[in-house]
Amino acid sequence: MGISEAGSGADGRETSLRLAAALDAQGWAAVHAAPRQALALLEEALPLARTSSDQKILTTILRHLSYTHYTLGNFDPAHASATEAVAVARNLGEPFYIGASVNMLGIALRYRGELAGALEAQREHLRIAEELDHPEMRAHALNNIGSVHYDLGESQRASDYHQAAIELARELGDDIISLKARNNLGADLQRLGDGQAATAALMEALALARQLNVRSEEALALNSLAKIALEGEAFLAAQTLAADALEVSGQVGDLGMRAEAHLHSGLALLGLGDQGEAEQHLSTALKLSESACVHQTQVGALHALARSHEQRGSYPAAFQYLRQAHILDLQIHAATATRRTQALSALIEAEHYRREVTRERARSAELAAAIAKLQEAQAKQEELTLKLAYQATHDPLTGLVGRTLFRDRLEKALASSANLTAPLAVFFIDLNGFKLVNDTYGHATGDQLLQEVARRLTGAVFGRDSVARLGGDEFVVLATHLHPAVQAHAVAQKLLDVLVQPCQLGGAEIKIGAAIGVSVFPHDGTDATTLLRHADEAMYLAKRRGDSTVQFYRAVASVN
């Protein structure tokens, strides 16, 4: 910012004046270029500004101090500085300084989750901008009002405000406003389900952030693009974007952004089958999101850790993560309901419906009391409910999914595959020699063998695939995203290879084999019942041949 230190005494007051002037001249670019340096300078200049007779200096430094804290993710200090800036500006009585300070207060309130106050502040900001005929201030207000509506779940309305902010920023030639609004628009469009338009907006934001060297907005764009890539199961692209977001967010020092980047890295690696490294990222995301109070990222990390532990057979840990996620979800929904109610109250109050405000507040109190009672009751029932739900859908011996859940997953995969060219395959597996193991070594050893088979089958497929035990010594595997179709042969051979390897159980070496029948969508059927039946028929033909072999239904059908 062209200032190395604040100084003291008369020189210090002069430095405060020059610092305030530099901030006003350079806008937010000075903060974005070096936020920690800006914070140190502002905190040193603040005591000196308080001694100045010019209140414009004080409100300017307070306002920029608030923005710097916000950029670094320090939302409580940002709120405190903005609150003081508004008080000084109102005492000063100049609309421009009031509008600029109220804007910062609205931003700070939004990130503290106080959406009603944030919306009220930004509406005042917009009103002052229109009274002053100040287009730049108006563009900021439009962008920030859109962000509050996004938090309220009103994505289409948020998109309209952000589009208006982008158009006005284009007319003004203001790249900073355009950058922020494009990042926000990308989030709106993603939530509205328009992934292509969201990606375009975010790519423009990313290029602009790099051009302007605004690292916080660059990290935001990278995280949003990584999320879109994950939704499209483009795991390699998501991993690259998340790695870039990790690097940039580390430079910014924003814990929330780093937590989200670690979450996206973990999800990408989980999709690629690297569970070990994925869990490291997910655990880091969980710790950082807890520290930064970014609850949605925390819930995402908990769900991902639960899925990872379930895939590798660590069911107690998976259950605990799932339970934590469910409890936190309830808390988030309760807080969101309260915030939306408060925001509605603020809108009504802005329209001078005082009686409606009182009623809404009463309803909010009743809702909060009801939610508190519901949470208390659900906390007592949650563990039992989750346990019963798990037992109803999983095999108690192996921990694999049962017949009903497997069929549900198959039907969902078929519904998704209807619009894709990549086939999926069903592998029906029957163990050879299992009865002999039971008769020779006893049922306890037989149970151990089934558990070992479950572990081997789970380890032989991708995390997105499903392994189920239908009963006895029958298993079934669903493999998705097979392209080209010859990959079904490779998967079948891999399953057979892991099953014919000897098992060391109870001091004895046990050898078994398997007959595997395979049906492939869409060639062997387009519905769950047909695919399962055809895979079963192919398995019985393979079993009649003896030894361990694989039989595809297509070959059976051609012979018949």
Residue predicted with more confidence, 53 or 177: 177
Confidence band for 8, pLDDT divided at 50, 70 and 90? very low
Task: Enter the tokens of residue 74.
Answer: 């320090």
Provide the angle, in degrees to the nearest 10, between the axes of the packed helices 255-271 and 275-292: 160
The pTM (predicted TM-score) of the whole model is: 0.56
3-state SS string for 115-175:
HHHHHHHHHHHHHHHHHHCCHHHHHHHHHHHHHHHHHCCCHHHHHHHHHHHHHHHHHHCCH
Spatial distance between the Cα atoms of 137 and 128, rounded to a whole number of angstroms: 9
3-state SS string for 333-369:
HHHHHHHHHHHHHHHHHHCCCHHHHHHHHHHHHHHHH
Task: Enter the tokens of residue 30.
Answer: 């000075």
Q: Give the model's pLDDT for residue 4.
A: 33
Token pair 């029948």 is found at 517
Spatial distance between the Cα atoms of 345 and 350, rounded to a whole number of angstroms: 9
Confidence band for 514, pLDDT divided at 50, 70 and 90? very high
Spatial distance between the Cα atoms of 397 and 532, rounded to a whole number of angstroms: 23
Task: Find the mean pLDDT for residues 187-213.
Answer: 93
DSSP string for 4-49: ----SHHHHHHHHHHHHHHHHHHTTHHHHH-HHHHHHHHHHHHHHH
Does the pLDDT of residue 90 top 50, yes or no? Answer: yes
Q: Give the model's pLDDT for residue 3.
A: 32
Task: Find the mean pLDDT for residues 419-423.
Answer: 64
Token pair 């592998």 is found at 427
Which residues, 6+ apart, have CB-to-CB distance to 86 below 8 Å?
Answer: 98, 101, 102, 105
Supply the DSSP symbol for 394: B
> Do the beta carbons of residue 468 and residue 547 sit within 8 Å?
no
Rg (CA), the chain: 30
Confidence band for 502, pLDDT divided at 50, 70 and 90? very high
Spatial distance between the Cα atoms of 400 and 375, rounded to a whole number of angstroms: 31
Q: Which of these, 384, 406, 410, 381, lies nearest to 393 by C-alpha position? A: 406
Q: Which of these, 296, 366, 368, lies nearest to 338 by C-alpha position? A: 368
pLDDT digits (tens, 9 = 90+) for 434-466: 998 988 889 999 999 999 999 999 999 988 899
Collapse the DSSP code of 39 into the 3-class scheme (helix H, G, I; strand E, B; otherwise coil) and give the result.
helix
Does the pLDDT of residue 14 top 80, yes or no? Answer: no
Peptide bond just before 522 cis, omega within 30 deg: yes
Residue predicted with more confidence, 292 or 271: 271
Confidence band for 1, pLDDT divided at 50, 70 and 90? very low
Neighbours of 113 (CB within 10 A): 17
Hey, which of 455-464, 476-485, 532-541 has the most confident mean pLDDT?
532-541
User: Which amino acid, 404?
Assistant: T
Task: Find the mean pLDDT for residues 231-244.
Answer: 93
Does the pLDDT of residue 296 top 70, yes or no? Answer: yes
